[in-house]
Amino acid sequence: MNKIDLERNSAAAPPPIAGEEVICLFAFAQYDGALERRPPEAVLERRLILHRVGSVAALIGVVPVADYCGADAERRLADVAWLAPRVRRHAALVDWAAQWSSVFPAPFGTLYESLDSLTAFTHAHVATIAEFLQAVAGKEEWELRGTARLDEAESLDRLARAAWPDWCELTPGKRYMRLCRDRNALIEQGRAEAGAFICAFVTDLKPLTATVRRHEANRRPNGADEPELIARYSLLVGKPDVAALQERVRDASARASHGHVTIALSGPWPPFSFRPDLKPPR
């Protein structure tokens, strides 16, 4: 596939957009001389444009409106074979932009009916976007997850020994009866202990993080063999501090494993979790 040249324009001289097309926003970035790089080869948009509004550039594609609106759009958006390559391409373009600038990533399928509407939106928020891009420069988002297997026999026995001083003196039958009666309370106690351990650990990471955001943990495992999610955090980390962060997580995970708790780090990701909420202009 041939590479597609990146069109450049400004709000003062917008390119023509056909009536059957819409604007798809991939990301906002800082506008400077480093934008002369070519986009990746896996770009299927017929046109890829860098639209400048003040100090901010919007990386956008021009896509057929029928892809996302109309009678067939719902069917397409439910079709993994159609959707998956477009989601991957969206992520690839955000990653590409992040090579030369900090980015304000847009969720997949962020559409504007015209370049004028995108320009008006960007003008309304250009100061906020520019401030965000400056704040995340040189930083990466990492996700930290704490999981546990609290309902396994070994975990329940450890929790019972800690909670009930007479546990070791009970006969197997009496242990079984107590677990039948108090199993849920025991698991809830283990959940609280695991959450407190992870929370304290994340607090200790403050010197290595610029910002921390805690997310709601959906505690239900997706499958019988999956551990329970105890806590989930997004960490904004300066690139020089990533190696130290990874080492701290490895050490904490080794300590937590004695309580059947796992702490895992994944990333880096574009800073989705730290974007300010931009309201449509009135």
Between CA 178 and CA 156 the distance in angstroms is: 11
Residue 8 has pLDDT above 70, yes or no: no
Identity of the highest mean pLDDT range in 57-66, 122-131, 160-169: 122-131
Query: Is 267 among the domain residues?
Result: yes
Same domain for 124 and 159?
Answer: no
Same domain for 183 and 235?
Answer: yes
pLDDT in tens, 77-91: 888 888 898 899 899
Residue 191, SS3 per DSSP: helix
Same domain for 72 and 131?
Answer: yes
Same domain for 145 and 118?
Answer: no
Q: Rounded to whole angstroms, what are the CA distances from 15 to 55, 63, 115, 215, 256?
A: 19, 14, 8, 40, 56
Give the domain-ending residue among 118, 137, 156: 137
Which CATH number belongs to the domain containing residue 225 in this structure?
3.30.70
Confidence of residue 33 (pLDDT cuts 50, 70, 90): low
Same domain for 210 and 269?
Answer: yes
Query: Is 162 among the domain residues?
Result: yes
Q: Rounded to whole angstroms, what are the CA distances from 282 to 100, 177, 275, 278?
A: 33, 63, 21, 12
Query: Is 62 among the domain residues?
Result: yes
Size of the chain in residues: 282
Query: Is 279 among the domain residues?
Result: no
Residue 45 has pLDDT above 70, yes or no: no
Same domain for 112 and 205?
Answer: no
What is the average pLDDT across 100-107?
92
Same domain for 127 and 145?
Answer: no
Query: Is 259 among the domain residues?
Result: yes
Which range of residues forms the domain containing residue 171? Answer: 140-273
Same domain for 157 and 183?
Answer: yes
Query: Is 43 among the domain residues?
Result: yes
Mean pLDDT of all residues belonging to the chain: 84
Query: Is 109 among the domain residues?
Result: yes
Give the domain-ending residue among 137, 153, 184: 137
Q: Which runs of consecutive H residues, i.e. helices, occur in the chain?
A: 73-77, 80-98, 115-135, 153-163, 172-204, 242-256
What is the average pLDDT across 222-246?
89
* The pLDDT of residue 163: 86
Give the domain-ending residue among 109, 137, 165: 137
Between CA 136 and CA 104 the distance in angstroms is: 9
Domains identified in the chain, total number? 2
Same domain for 50 and 174?
Answer: no
Residue 258 has pLDDT above 80, yes or no: no
| Portion of the chain with pLDDT greater than 90, in percent | 42
What is the average pLDDT across 92-121?
91
Backbone angles phi, psi at 165, to 5 degrees: -60, -30
More confidently predicted of 256 and 141: 141
Q: Rounded to whole angstroms, what are the CA distances from 223 to 152, 228, 243?
A: 14, 10, 32
Same domain for 177 and 229?
Answer: yes
Query: Is 278 among the domain residues?
Result: no
Same domain for 99 and 210?
Answer: no
Same domain for 129 and 164?
Answer: no
